[in-house]
A and B are shown apart, each in its own frame.
Chain A
Amino acid sequence: MSIARFWRETPRRYNLGGSKCTSCGTVYFPPRAVCPVCTHHRQSIEKMVPFQLSGEGTVLSFTVVHDAAEGFEMQAPYVLALVKTPEGPVLTGQVVDVRPEEVGIGFKVRATFRKLREEGRAGVIHYGYKFAPSEESTAAPPLGPAAAGPPTEAAARDRATS
């Protein structure tokens, strides 16, 4: 990926900069130029204003990825989740600093600024958001040495609760 292609998205990837439709109030991430929900959606053109997300969120669904995306091989297995923000948008990202088996639907998280991946030894380093347990979630017992343990229980618990 070229430097410019990643760099131009840094306001979104570093600071969760979205947009808000001043006609209907709906918030979007990433920002959109046109509001998809306004009945006369052309009226929303030039009425979208910047809006920053708080970074709070709740896990809507999650998976433990073993067959990693390109550039994420050293992080596998890792938790990937859809995170619903209180402002409305849903974000796709990793959940880190937690044992995979502790993550479930409804788990409270907070966005955190991290290194996403690097393009080899001499390549561009990509930074952006990941999600870590929120203060509410970390009220649970602290992480022990088992933090890097196998994530297989996540699937087992999912079966048990389904």
Chain B
Amino acid sequence: MREVAVLGIGQTKFGELWDRSFREIGIEAGLEALVDAKLSSADLGALYLGNMASGTLLDQEHIAPLILDYAGLAGRHLPAMRVEGGGASGALALHQGYLAVASGLYDFVVVGGAEKLTDVPDSAAAGITSSAADHEWEVVFGATLPGLWALIARRHMHLFGTTREDLARVAVHDHEMGSRNPNAHYRNRISLEQVVGASPVAEPLGMLDCAPLSDGAAAVVLGPLDVARRHTDTPIRIAASQVATDTMALQHRDDLTTLASTVVAGRRAFEQARRAPKDVRVAEIHDAYTISALLALEDLGFAEKGRAGPDFASGRFGLRGDLTVNPSGGLKAQGRPFGAVGVAQVVEIVRQLRGEAKDRQVPGATLGLAHDVGGTGATSVVHLLERVP
């Protein structure tokens, strides 16, 4: 297996992009990544596209060749495919691209993630959110995705004494970071009182505990590490790419307060990279709901089980803490275009490791982690990225 590096990155603004179509945002992110990698499309081997719900949202399946076509590359007849794993679709696409380059099958690939959520009414988009849960045994009985995460939150509160404020602090932090990110869906700061007082969605989770429905796209160009310096002064090595799965429905888990898929993907990633959680200086973690972030911090080994809330309160995960979490603003503030999320997380980690993150730059970051989850954790994906000395 060859070492794989990220050579280029691209990302659209996230948010309600009324004037942009699905194909426009997909192409914008992809071409930006190609230009950033100083790569000619003639060198391109394949496209992997993370997307969760284009069929339901846009009546358009078969989107990978569509994006290539409108990017002017139909005549190259490249292999192109969509990868789907609920909210983890983007990170899964990255895993596929990583495997393709590592195996030697292709030298250079584009991994994109794109989702267009505002071309349907909010209610339809919210219904699609819940389609990452088990339709037959959860959704049919009245469950929604925030409702299922609320069940996790209530159990976490019951067992560990996690408070409403512990949850709310995640959203306050994310919006603070989002205010520094020009691509973020939300750039406003919010207070603890606003989060706690927001209208309820599924108690104890309120409107401001839940990530928004966003449009957006992100892309990276991957290539072999040994030729990476021809394309960039700051190659970022993919030190680990790991996927793990678990039961589809929450009701089949022995432990409701941990995502076993995250625990396993994280452990495999640290083993692959021969590193430990304490070596990570910056992390983009799945925070579709505030409780999701607390679980992720515990399950990835950044906090003891049950302690992520108090640890968050201590400032450990802030910009000047020992592990900066979600400098992009996370799903909560940067936005949540499902299939684009996992790729955008890696784009942010690459910016951080290159030292290009401006006023949200984490000082001295050389190892970063990206963590993406589908549904309530039937899929988790963990990537470790490292700046090459």
Contacts and interface: CB of A to CB of B under 8 A. Distances in A.
Nearest to B153: A63
Interface in A97-118: 105, 116-117
Given A67-B202, A92-B137, A93-B142, A61 B249 contact: no
Contact of A159 (B136, B141, B151, B163): B163
B142 A75 contact: yes
A94 B141 contact: yes
Interface stretch (B2-10, B17-25, B71-79, B250-258): B250-258
B144 A65 contact: yes
Interface in A13-31: 13, 30
Contact of B152 (A61, A93, A128, A158): A61
A104 B205 CA distance: 16
A63 B150 contact: yes
Nearest to B251: A90
A61 B137 contact: no
B162 A162 contact: yes
Contacts of A9: 136
Nearest to B200: A66
A162 B157 contact: yes
Looking at A66, A75, A116, A129, the one whose CB has the most chain B CB atoms below 10 A away is A66
A155 B200 contact: yes
Contacts of A69: 127, 130, 139, 142-144, 147
Contacts of A91: 251
Given A64-B200, A80-B202, A162-B158, A116 B256 contact: no
A116 B143 CA distance: 11
B190 interface: no
Nearest to A28: B252
A155 B204 contact: yes
A158 B154 contact: yes
B307 interface: no
Interface residues of B, number: 40
A96 to B, nearest CB: 10
B119 interface: no
B66 interface: no
Given A60-B256, A65-B147, A155-B164, A70 B127 contact: yes
A64 B250 contact: no
Contacts of B148: 92
A91 B137 CA distance: 8
Contacts of A130: 141
A67 B144 contact: yes
A78 B142 contact: yes
A147 interface: no
Contacts of B152: 61
A130 B87 CA distance: 29
B161 interface: yes
A34 interface: no
Interface string B144-187: 10111011111101100111100000000000000000000000
Contact of A155 (B144, B203, B250): B203
A105 B141 CA distance: 19
Interface in B247-274: 249-252, 256
Contacts of B203: 63-64, 66, 151, 154-155, 158
B192 interface: no
B202 A65 contact: yes
Nearest to B158: A105
B158 A80 contact: no
Interface of A: 6, 9, 13, 30, 60-70, 72, 75, 77-78, 80-82, 89-94, 105, 116-117, 126, 128-130, 151-152, 154-155, 158-159, 161-162
5 contacts: A60-B155, A92-B250, A116-B141, A155-B164, A162-B158
Closest CB pairs A-B (n = 9): A63-B150, A61-B155, A162-B157, A90-B251, A64-B203, A61-B151, A67-B201, A63-B202, A155-B203
